[in-house]
Amino acid sequence: MKLGKISNSTFYVMVCLTILSFMSCSSDDDNNGSSGAIAPVAQEASDISLTSFRANWNNVFRASEYVLDVSADSGFSSFVDGFDNLSINQLSQSVTGLNSNTTYYYRVRAVVGGVVSGNSNTISVETNTQFPDDVTLKSATENNFFVGVAVSEARTNISSYDEIYTREFSSITAENDMKMASIFTGIDNTGAIIYDWSKVDALVDYAEANNINVHGHTLIWHRSLPQVLENFSGTDQEFEDLIEQYITDVFTRYQGKINSWDVVNEAIDDDPGVQWRDTVFLQRMGEDYVEKCFAFARAADPNVKLFYNDYNMTFDGTKRGKVLAMVDDLLASDLIDGVGYQMHIDYNFPSTQQIQDATDELVAKDVLIHFAELDVKVNAANDLTELTEERAMAQSQRVQEVVEIFNAIPQNKKYAITLWGLKDDDTWLIPENNGRPEWPLLFDASFNKKQAYQGFLEGL
Protein backbone atom coordinates (compact mmCIF):
# COMPACT_ATOMS: atom_id res chain seq x y z
CA MET A 1 0.00 0.00 0.00
CA LYS A 2 1.41 3.29 -0.95
CA LEU A 3 1.45 5.91 1.76
CA GLY A 4 0.59 9.44 1.02
CA LYS A 5 2.73 12.32 1.88
CA ILE A 6 2.29 13.54 5.50
CA SER A 7 2.64 17.07 6.72
CA ASN A 8 5.36 18.27 9.08
CA SER A 9 2.83 18.87 11.86
CA THR A 10 1.46 15.37 11.57
CA PHE A 11 4.98 13.92 11.68
CA TYR A 12 5.74 15.92 14.85
CA VAL A 13 2.64 14.56 16.60
CA MET A 14 3.52 10.99 15.64
CA VAL A 15 7.06 11.34 17.03
CA CYS A 16 5.75 12.74 20.33
CA LEU A 17 3.22 9.92 20.66
CA THR A 18 5.97 7.38 20.02
CA ILE A 19 8.23 8.89 22.71
CA LEU A 20 5.40 9.00 25.25
CA SER A 21 4.50 5.39 24.47
CA PHE A 22 8.09 4.30 24.94
CA MET A 23 8.34 6.11 28.28
CA SER A 24 5.12 4.58 29.59
CA CYS A 25 6.16 1.07 28.55
CA SER A 26 9.75 1.14 29.83
CA SER A 27 10.37 -0.69 33.11
CA ASP A 28 11.63 1.00 36.27
CA ASP A 29 15.23 0.40 37.28
CA ASP A 30 16.78 0.44 40.73
CA ASN A 31 16.99 4.23 40.77
CA ASN A 32 13.31 4.96 40.21
CA GLY A 33 10.14 4.28 42.17
CA SER A 34 7.03 2.88 40.59
CA SER A 35 5.74 6.40 39.93
CA GLY A 36 8.80 7.36 37.94
CA ALA A 37 10.13 9.62 40.74
CA ILE A 38 13.81 10.26 40.12
CA ALA A 39 16.28 9.03 42.72
CA PRO A 40 18.92 11.42 44.03
CA VAL A 41 22.59 11.02 43.25
CA ALA A 42 24.53 10.44 46.47
CA GLN A 43 27.78 12.38 46.64
CA GLU A 44 31.01 11.80 48.52
CA ALA A 45 30.91 12.26 52.28
CA SER A 46 32.47 15.33 53.90
CA ASP A 47 33.57 16.39 57.41
CA ILE A 48 34.88 12.89 58.07
CA SER A 49 36.14 12.46 61.65
CA LEU A 50 36.80 9.67 64.11
CA THR A 51 33.16 9.00 64.87
CA SER A 52 31.12 10.97 62.35
CA PHE A 53 30.77 12.17 58.78
CA ARG A 54 28.36 14.23 56.69
CA ALA A 55 26.34 12.44 53.99
CA ASN A 56 25.58 14.53 50.89
CA TRP A 57 23.37 14.22 47.79
CA ASN A 58 22.04 16.32 44.90
CA ASN A 59 18.71 18.09 44.67
CA VAL A 60 15.73 16.36 43.04
CA PHE A 61 13.19 18.67 41.41
CA ARG A 62 10.04 19.07 43.53
CA ALA A 63 11.26 16.66 46.23
CA SER A 64 9.61 17.52 49.55
CA GLU A 65 12.07 15.45 51.60
CA TYR A 66 14.70 12.75 51.41
CA VAL A 67 15.10 9.39 53.16
CA LEU A 68 18.57 8.29 54.34
CA ASP A 69 19.92 4.85 55.25
CA VAL A 70 23.34 4.31 56.87
CA SER A 71 24.82 0.87 57.49
CA ALA A 72 28.10 -0.84 58.25
CA ASP A 73 27.00 -3.49 55.73
CA SER A 74 27.12 -2.77 51.99
CA GLY A 75 23.98 -4.86 51.58
CA PHE A 76 22.09 -2.77 54.18
CA SER A 77 20.95 -5.84 56.08
CA SER A 78 21.25 -3.78 59.27
CA PHE A 79 21.42 -0.07 60.00
CA VAL A 80 23.24 2.40 62.22
CA ASP A 81 20.92 3.25 65.10
CA GLY A 82 18.72 6.18 64.11
CA PHE A 83 19.65 6.06 60.42
CA ASP A 84 17.16 3.56 59.03
CA ASN A 85 14.70 5.35 56.73
CA LEU A 86 15.54 8.71 58.36
CA SER A 87 13.46 11.58 56.93
CA ILE A 88 15.44 14.76 56.12
CA ASN A 89 14.43 18.03 54.45
CA GLN A 90 17.89 19.13 53.38
CA LEU A 91 20.67 17.96 51.06
CA SER A 92 23.06 16.67 53.71
CA GLN A 93 22.99 15.05 57.13
CA SER A 94 25.55 14.67 59.91
CA VAL A 95 25.92 11.01 60.91
CA THR A 96 27.31 10.69 64.46
CA GLY A 97 27.95 8.10 67.15
CA LEU A 98 30.06 5.89 64.90
CA ASN A 99 33.16 3.79 65.51
CA SER A 100 36.54 4.98 64.30
CA ASN A 101 38.47 3.11 61.59
CA THR A 102 35.21 1.60 60.28
CA THR A 103 33.68 1.57 56.79
CA TYR A 104 30.08 2.76 56.53
CA TYR A 105 27.68 2.96 53.59
CA TYR A 106 24.85 5.34 52.84
CA ARG A 107 22.11 5.68 50.27
CA VAL A 108 19.24 8.11 49.89
CA ARG A 109 15.77 8.33 48.31
CA ALA A 110 13.66 11.31 47.26
CA VAL A 111 10.01 11.88 48.16
CA VAL A 112 8.10 13.61 45.35
CA GLY A 113 4.38 14.17 45.68
CA GLY A 114 4.23 11.74 48.56
CA VAL A 115 5.86 8.97 46.52
CA VAL A 116 9.31 7.61 47.41
CA SER A 117 11.87 7.04 44.67
CA GLY A 118 14.18 4.11 44.39
CA ASN A 119 17.59 4.09 46.07
CA SER A 120 20.42 6.31 44.98
CA ASN A 121 23.87 4.96 44.31
CA THR A 122 25.71 3.78 47.45
CA ILE A 123 28.58 5.79 48.93
CA SER A 124 31.18 4.21 51.20
CA VAL A 125 33.11 6.19 53.78
CA GLU A 126 35.75 5.21 56.34
CA THR A 127 35.91 7.06 59.62
CA ASN A 128 39.33 8.42 60.53
CA THR A 129 41.69 6.59 62.84
CA GLN A 130 43.42 9.63 64.33
CA PHE A 131 43.87 13.36 64.22
CA PRO A 132 46.96 14.90 62.62
CA ASP A 133 50.12 14.51 64.70
CA ASP A 134 50.41 18.25 65.29
CA VAL A 135 47.04 18.36 67.09
CA THR A 136 47.48 17.89 70.85
CA LEU A 137 45.18 18.12 73.84
CA LYS A 138 46.78 21.45 74.68
CA SER A 139 46.54 22.95 71.20
CA ALA A 140 42.96 21.74 70.76
CA THR A 141 41.81 23.44 73.98
CA GLU A 142 43.92 26.59 73.76
CA ASN A 143 42.01 29.75 74.72
CA ASN A 144 39.06 27.56 75.68
CA PHE A 145 39.93 25.90 78.99
CA PHE A 146 42.85 24.26 80.77
CA VAL A 147 43.49 20.59 80.10
CA GLY A 148 45.34 19.19 83.09
CA VAL A 149 46.98 16.04 84.37
CA ALA A 150 47.82 14.73 87.83
CA VAL A 151 51.59 14.55 88.28
CA SER A 152 54.24 13.79 90.83
CA GLU A 153 57.41 15.81 91.25
CA ALA A 154 59.53 12.70 90.67
CA ARG A 155 57.98 11.99 87.26
CA THR A 156 58.63 15.50 85.95
CA ASN A 157 62.32 14.51 86.01
CA ILE A 158 61.75 11.48 83.74
CA SER A 159 62.09 12.41 80.08
CA SER A 160 59.29 10.16 78.79
CA TYR A 161 56.83 11.80 81.21
CA ASP A 162 58.21 15.29 80.73
CA GLU A 163 57.86 15.10 76.94
CA ILE A 164 54.14 14.32 77.17
CA TYR A 165 53.40 16.64 80.11
CA THR A 166 54.80 19.63 78.24
CA ARG A 167 53.39 18.70 74.83
CA GLU A 168 49.86 17.75 75.80
CA PHE A 169 48.85 19.68 78.93
CA SER A 170 48.32 23.31 79.87
CA SER A 171 47.83 22.62 83.60
CA ILE A 172 49.20 20.26 86.23
CA THR A 173 47.84 19.13 89.58
CA ALA A 174 49.93 17.32 92.16
CA GLU A 175 48.34 13.95 92.82
CA ASN A 176 49.84 13.81 96.34
CA ASP A 177 52.79 16.21 96.66
CA MET A 178 50.72 19.26 97.65
CA LYS A 179 48.50 17.56 100.21
CA MET A 180 48.92 18.55 103.84
CA ALA A 181 50.72 15.39 104.95
CA SER A 182 53.42 16.02 102.33
CA ILE A 183 54.08 19.63 103.42
CA PHE A 184 53.17 19.87 107.13
CA THR A 185 55.79 17.58 108.65
CA GLY A 186 55.69 18.52 112.32
CA ILE A 187 55.55 21.14 115.07
CA ASP A 188 58.68 22.39 116.79
CA ASN A 189 59.06 23.05 120.52
CA THR A 190 57.93 26.66 120.08
CA GLY A 191 54.66 25.56 118.50
CA ALA A 192 55.67 26.61 114.98
CA ILE A 193 54.86 24.39 111.99
CA ILE A 194 57.74 22.53 110.37
CA TYR A 195 57.44 22.51 106.56
CA ASP A 196 58.91 20.55 103.69
CA TRP A 197 58.46 22.76 100.62
CA SER A 198 60.87 20.86 98.37
CA LYS A 199 58.42 18.98 96.14
CA VAL A 200 55.99 21.86 95.80
CA ASP A 201 58.81 24.28 94.98
CA ALA A 202 60.09 21.90 92.30
CA LEU A 203 56.64 21.49 90.74
CA VAL A 204 56.06 25.25 90.70
CA ASP A 205 59.46 25.83 89.11
CA TYR A 206 58.72 23.13 86.53
CA ALA A 207 55.40 24.72 85.65
CA GLU A 208 56.91 28.20 85.35
CA ALA A 209 59.72 26.92 83.12
CA ASN A 210 57.21 25.29 80.78
CA ASN A 211 54.45 27.93 80.91
CA ILE A 212 52.00 25.51 82.55
CA ASN A 213 49.24 26.43 84.99
CA VAL A 214 49.25 24.89 88.49
CA HIS A 215 46.01 23.96 90.23
CA GLY A 216 46.68 23.38 93.94
CA HIS A 217 45.31 20.16 95.44
CA THR A 218 44.39 20.08 98.26
CA LEU A 219 44.68 22.17 101.44
CA ILE A 220 42.24 20.30 103.70
CA TRP A 221 41.48 16.59 103.28
CA HIS A 222 40.77 14.11 106.05
CA ARG A 223 42.84 11.38 104.36
CA SER A 224 46.04 13.43 104.25
CA LEU A 225 46.52 14.47 107.86
CA PRO A 226 49.92 14.84 109.54
CA GLN A 227 50.31 12.51 112.51
CA VAL A 228 50.99 15.47 114.74
CA LEU A 229 47.51 16.86 114.00
CA GLU A 230 45.85 13.47 114.28
CA ASN A 231 47.12 13.21 117.83
CA PHE A 232 47.13 16.92 118.66
CA SER A 233 46.81 17.43 122.42
CA GLY A 234 46.27 21.20 122.41
CA THR A 235 42.97 23.01 122.63
CA ASP A 236 40.47 23.23 119.79
CA GLN A 237 41.37 26.89 119.31
CA GLU A 238 45.06 26.03 119.08
CA PHE A 239 44.20 23.38 116.46
CA GLU A 240 42.22 25.95 114.47
CA ASP A 241 45.06 28.48 114.74
CA LEU A 242 47.45 25.90 113.24
CA ILE A 243 45.09 25.33 110.31
CA GLU A 244 44.81 29.06 109.68
CA GLN A 245 48.59 29.43 109.90
CA TYR A 246 49.12 26.54 107.50
CA ILE A 247 46.76 27.94 104.86
CA THR A 248 48.22 31.42 105.24
CA ASP A 249 51.81 30.18 104.90
CA VAL A 250 51.02 28.12 101.79
CA PHE A 251 49.26 31.02 100.08
CA THR A 252 51.98 33.48 101.04
CA ARG A 253 54.79 31.29 99.72
CA TYR A 254 53.12 30.64 96.36
CA GLN A 255 51.44 33.99 95.81
CA GLY A 256 51.27 34.69 92.09
CA LYS A 257 52.51 31.17 91.29
CA ILE A 258 49.57 28.95 92.22
CA ASN A 259 46.43 30.76 91.17
CA SER A 260 43.76 28.21 92.16
CA TRP A 261 43.37 25.71 95.02
CA ASP A 262 41.04 22.99 96.15
CA VAL A 263 40.58 24.46 99.63
CA VAL A 264 38.52 21.61 101.08
CA ASN A 265 38.17 18.13 99.59
CA GLU A 266 35.36 15.62 100.22
CA ALA A 267 33.81 17.20 103.32
CA ILE A 268 30.23 16.06 102.60
CA ASP A 269 29.10 12.69 103.98
CA ASP A 270 27.78 9.97 101.63
CA ASP A 271 24.97 9.15 104.08
CA PRO A 272 21.85 10.95 102.79
CA GLY A 273 20.83 11.88 106.34
CA VAL A 274 24.19 13.38 107.35
CA GLN A 275 25.64 16.67 106.14
CA TRP A 276 29.28 16.59 107.24
CA ARG A 277 31.77 13.76 107.06
CA ASP A 278 33.03 12.96 110.56
CA THR A 279 36.64 14.14 110.47
CA VAL A 280 39.14 15.63 112.89
CA PHE A 281 38.44 19.02 111.30
CA LEU A 282 34.74 18.72 112.12
CA GLN A 283 35.53 17.53 115.65
CA ARG A 284 38.07 20.24 116.43
CA MET A 285 36.73 23.23 114.48
CA GLY A 286 32.94 22.68 114.40
CA GLU A 287 30.35 22.42 111.66
CA ASP A 288 31.45 25.71 110.15
CA TYR A 289 35.01 24.50 109.58
CA VAL A 290 34.63 24.52 105.78
CA GLU A 291 33.55 28.14 105.83
CA LYS A 292 36.42 28.98 108.19
CA CYS A 293 39.00 27.36 105.89
CA PHE A 294 37.67 29.24 102.86
CA ALA A 295 37.73 32.46 104.87
CA PHE A 296 41.36 31.82 105.91
CA ALA A 297 42.25 31.25 102.24
CA ARG A 298 40.42 34.34 101.00
CA ALA A 299 42.12 36.51 103.61
CA ALA A 300 45.55 35.08 102.75
CA ASP A 301 45.26 35.98 99.05
CA PRO A 302 42.05 37.46 97.60
CA ASN A 303 43.29 36.79 94.04
CA VAL A 304 43.45 33.00 94.28
CA LYS A 305 40.51 31.06 92.84
CA LEU A 306 39.04 28.91 95.62
CA PHE A 307 37.43 25.54 94.80
CA TYR A 308 35.50 22.86 96.63
CA ASN A 309 36.09 19.34 95.26
CA ASP A 310 34.08 16.10 95.75
CA TYR A 311 33.18 12.74 94.17
CA ASN A 312 29.93 10.98 93.09
CA MET A 313 28.52 14.34 92.10
CA THR A 314 27.47 13.16 88.64
CA PHE A 315 24.90 10.62 89.83
CA ASP A 316 24.19 11.06 93.56
CA GLY A 317 21.58 13.80 93.52
CA THR A 318 21.19 13.86 97.30
CA LYS A 319 24.89 14.39 97.92
CA ARG A 320 25.07 16.91 95.10
CA GLY A 321 22.18 18.83 96.66
CA LYS A 322 24.04 19.04 99.97
CA VAL A 323 27.18 20.25 98.22
CA LEU A 324 25.37 22.87 96.17
CA ALA A 325 23.55 24.17 99.27
CA MET A 326 26.95 24.60 100.93
CA VAL A 327 28.22 26.35 97.79
CA ASP A 328 25.29 28.77 97.97
CA ASP A 329 26.26 29.65 101.54
CA LEU A 330 29.88 30.22 100.53
CA LEU A 331 28.83 32.32 97.54
CA ALA A 332 26.74 34.50 99.81
CA SER A 333 29.92 35.39 101.68
CA ASP A 334 32.08 35.63 98.52
CA LEU A 335 34.25 32.76 99.71
CA ILE A 336 34.21 30.41 96.72
CA ASP A 337 35.01 30.68 93.01
CA GLY A 338 34.66 27.18 91.65
CA VAL A 339 33.53 23.59 92.14
CA GLY A 340 35.32 20.42 91.13
CA TYR A 341 33.21 17.46 90.03
CA GLN A 342 35.48 14.45 90.38
CA MET A 343 35.03 12.37 87.22
CA HIS A 344 35.93 8.91 88.52
CA ILE A 345 33.41 7.16 86.28
CA ASP A 346 32.89 3.87 84.41
CA TYR A 347 32.61 3.35 80.68
CA ASN A 348 28.91 2.56 81.20
CA PHE A 349 28.02 4.50 84.36
CA PRO A 350 26.67 7.03 85.14
CA SER A 351 24.53 7.72 82.11
CA THR A 352 25.33 10.60 79.81
CA GLN A 353 22.06 12.22 80.84
CA GLN A 354 22.98 12.01 84.52
CA ILE A 355 26.28 13.76 83.85
CA GLN A 356 24.51 16.38 81.76
CA ASP A 357 21.85 17.00 84.41
CA ALA A 358 24.46 17.30 87.17
CA THR A 359 26.44 19.74 85.05
CA ASP A 360 23.36 21.82 84.32
CA GLU A 361 22.76 22.21 88.07
CA LEU A 362 26.28 23.52 88.51
CA VAL A 363 26.05 25.82 85.49
CA ALA A 364 23.10 27.48 87.23
CA LYS A 365 25.49 28.61 89.99
CA ASP A 366 27.87 31.54 89.66
CA VAL A 367 31.01 29.40 89.82
CA LEU A 368 33.83 28.10 87.65
CA ILE A 369 33.46 24.44 86.75
CA HIS A 370 36.26 21.89 86.98
CA PHE A 371 35.80 18.35 85.69
CA ALA A 372 38.45 17.07 88.08
CA GLU A 373 40.18 13.70 88.45
CA LEU A 374 38.90 12.22 85.19
CA ASP A 375 39.48 8.53 84.66
CA VAL A 376 37.17 6.00 83.02
CA LYS A 377 37.14 2.48 84.42
CA VAL A 378 36.62 -0.35 81.94
CA ASN A 379 37.02 -3.32 84.30
CA ALA A 380 34.84 -2.57 87.33
CA ALA A 381 33.16 -5.97 86.88
CA ASN A 382 36.57 -7.68 86.74
CA ASP A 383 35.62 -9.38 83.48
CA LEU A 384 38.78 -8.47 81.54
CA THR A 385 42.35 -9.71 81.69
CA GLU A 386 43.41 -7.35 78.91
CA LEU A 387 41.88 -4.27 77.32
CA THR A 388 39.72 -5.35 74.40
CA GLU A 389 39.06 -3.29 71.29
CA GLU A 390 35.36 -3.21 72.11
CA ARG A 391 35.94 -1.90 75.64
CA ALA A 392 38.55 0.59 74.42
CA MET A 393 36.02 1.99 71.95
CA ALA A 394 33.36 2.21 74.66
CA GLN A 395 35.83 4.09 76.86
CA SER A 396 36.65 6.45 74.01
CA GLN A 397 32.97 7.16 73.48
CA ARG A 398 32.52 7.91 77.19
CA VAL A 399 35.49 10.33 77.19
CA GLN A 400 34.05 12.02 74.12
CA GLU A 401 30.68 12.44 75.84
CA VAL A 402 32.27 13.97 78.95
CA VAL A 403 34.31 16.42 76.90
CA GLU A 404 31.28 17.36 74.78
CA ILE A 405 29.30 18.15 77.93
CA PHE A 406 32.11 20.26 79.37
CA ASN A 407 32.78 22.03 76.09
CA ALA A 408 29.13 23.13 75.91
CA ILE A 409 29.38 24.94 79.26
CA PRO A 410 29.28 28.74 78.88
CA GLN A 411 32.79 29.98 78.23
CA ASN A 412 32.96 32.18 81.32
CA LYS A 413 32.30 29.17 83.57
CA LYS A 414 34.84 26.71 82.14
CA TYR A 415 37.95 26.14 84.22
CA ALA A 416 39.56 22.82 83.36
CA ILE A 417 39.33 19.13 82.65
CA THR A 418 42.03 17.31 84.60
CA LEU A 419 43.03 13.71 83.84
CA TRP A 420 43.87 11.80 87.00
CA GLY A 421 47.15 10.38 85.77
CA LEU A 422 49.02 10.04 82.51
CA LYS A 423 49.12 6.35 81.68
CA ASP A 424 47.23 3.23 82.64
CA ASP A 425 49.78 1.53 84.87
CA ASP A 426 50.18 4.68 86.99
CA THR A 427 46.54 4.82 88.02
CA TRP A 428 45.58 4.95 91.68
CA LEU A 429 42.77 2.50 90.90
CA ILE A 430 44.97 -0.61 90.71
CA PRO A 431 46.31 -0.42 94.28
CA GLU A 432 42.96 0.94 95.48
CA ASN A 433 41.25 -2.20 94.15
CA ASN A 434 43.78 -4.77 95.37
CA GLY A 435 45.56 -5.14 92.05
CA ARG A 436 42.52 -5.62 89.81
CA PRO A 437 43.57 -4.82 86.23
CA GLU A 438 42.41 -1.44 84.98
CA TRP A 439 43.09 0.80 81.98
CA PRO A 440 41.37 4.11 82.79
CA LEU A 441 43.55 6.80 81.18
CA LEU A 442 44.42 8.26 77.76
CA PHE A 443 47.85 6.66 77.35
CA ASP A 444 48.82 3.00 77.69
CA ALA A 445 51.68 1.67 79.79
CA SER A 446 54.11 2.34 76.93
CA PHE A 447 53.12 6.03 76.64
CA ASN A 448 51.12 5.37 73.44
CA LYS A 449 47.91 7.29 72.73
CA LYS A 450 44.79 5.16 73.18
CA GLN A 451 41.42 5.47 71.47
CA ALA A 452 40.34 7.43 74.55
CA TYR A 453 42.83 10.14 73.59
CA GLN A 454 41.15 10.42 70.21
CA GLY A 455 37.78 10.46 71.97
CA PHE A 456 38.86 13.51 73.98
CA LEU A 457 39.76 15.38 70.81
CA GLU A 458 36.57 14.27 69.11
CA GLY A 459 34.56 15.64 72.02
CA LEU A 460 35.85 19.11 71.16
Q: Hey, what CATH topology would domain 42-126 get?
A: Immunoglobulin-like (2.60.40)
pTM of the model: 0.77
Task: Calculate ∠ Cα 120-46-100, nearest 5°.
Answer: 100
Asked whether the beta carbons of 151 and 194 are under 8 A apart, the reply is no
H or E element that contains 405: helix 389-407
Q: Which residues of the chain form CATH 3.20.20.80?
A: 137-459
d(CA 456, CA 443): 12
Options 3.20.20.80, 3.30.1780.10, 3.10.20.30, 3.30.1490.20; CATH for 137-459 is: 3.20.20.80
Give catalytic residue positions. 266, 373
Domain with CATH 2.60.40.10 in the chain: 42-126
Distance of alpha carbon 330 from alpha carbon 337, whole angstroms: 9
> From CA 316, how far away is CA 354, in angstroms rounded?
9
Helix (H) or strand (E) holding 373: strand 368-377
For residues 216 and 260, the answer to whether their CB atoms sit within 8 Å is: yes
pLDDT tens, residue order, the chain (460 aa): 444 444 544 444 343 433 333 333 333 444 554 456 899 999 999 988 777 899 999 999 999 999 999 999 999 999 999 999 999 999 999 998 888 778 999 999 999 999 999 999 999 999 876 678 789 999 999 999 999 999 999 999 999 999 999 999 999 999 999 999 999 999 999 999 999 999 999 999 999 999 999 999 999 999 999 999 999 999 999 999 999 999 999 999 999 999 999 999 999 999 999 999 999 999 999 999 999 999 999 999 999 999 999 999 999 999 999 999 999 999 999 999 999 999 999 999 999 999 999 999 999 999 999 999 999 999 999 999 999 999 999 999 999 999 999 999 999 999 999 999 999 999 999 999 999 999 999 999 999 999 999 999 999 9
In residues, how long is the chain?
A: 460
CA distance 229 to 311: 25
From the list 246, 255, 260, the residue with the least C-alpha distance to 372 is: 260
Q: Cβ distance 326 to 268 under 8 Å?
A: yes
